[in-house]
Amino acid sequence: DQQVKQNSPSLSVQEGRISILNCDYTNSMFDYFLWYKKYPAEGPTFLISISSIKDKNEDGRFTVFLNKSAKHLSLHIVPSQPGDSAVYFCAARTHNNNDMRFGAGTRLTVKP
């Protein structure tokens, strides 16, 4: 039972354009959402997060949008750079639970 879903296994964009990575969740108790970035042979690293009391959080080129009614969040990267090429994982947790659930990941390729 995958509670966090990333339905696009891969995404390819041109350098300088926008990358949009999507994530859906089924558990309405989730109230904290995170995006992680993973390069080959490395552990995932935290990128950006959003609490359920917000609908948008921005950090430089990265913006996460949350649509609670649709149980959907997205990560926007503008402008995309070749160094952004990695696997991006969406994750979610409840405030009183240490069990963080991850999606299957989306491999982003940014072409020069």
Binding of another protein by 11 (CB under 8 A): no
Cβ-proximal residues to 1 (8 Å cutoff; 6+ apart), any chain: none
Which residues in the 76-105 window bind another protein by CB under 8 A? Answer: 89, 91, 93, 98-105
Residue closer to another protein by CB (options 105, 108) is 105
CB 110 within 8 A of CB 84: yes
Distance set, CA 14 to CA 24, 39, 96 (Å): 25, 19, 40
- The site map against another protein for 25-64 (x = CB under 8 A) is -------x-x-x----xxxxxx--x---------------
Nearest to 76 by CA among 58, 62, 92: 62
| Interaction site with another protein (CB under 8 A) | 2, 4, 6, 9, 32, 34, 36, 41-46, 49, 89, 91, 93, 98-105
